[in-house]
Amino acid sequence: HGKMEFRAKLPVGVGPWPAAWMLGANFDQVGWPACGEIDVLEWSGLQPGLVGQATHSPSRFGGNSIEVKTPVANLGTQFHTYAVVWEPGRVTFSIDGITTGTWTTADTGNPFEKEFFLLLN
């Protein structure tokens, strides 16, 4: 648990798919989505003005993930700060210090109560 925060200026155009995310450290034993996933920042040029933040779990993954998409201006010309506060039983996402979504992890099978590792792409 803790707070993960990234400051980033994103590329522009169709094609790039930058993300800052975490995956359950037991991925190699249980696979995805059983290991859990926390997306602090996910952006696609197909939706150029929206930033996604989400959790994925055995009960909520793919088109059924718990997700918020937030409009953010000037993604390619200004730096923005993307964060998640990860507490026992709850995650709270924010962009530039403004909360974008908070939800509990009670219905997820609790993969979020184990160790995670960080990925940047």
Active site positions, annotated: 37, 42
Pairwise CA distance, residues 38 & 121, whole Å: 14
Residues in the chain: 121
By the 10 Å C-beta count (0-12 exposed, 13-18 middle, 19+ buried), 13 is classed as exposed
Cis peptide before 33 (omega within 30 of 0): yes
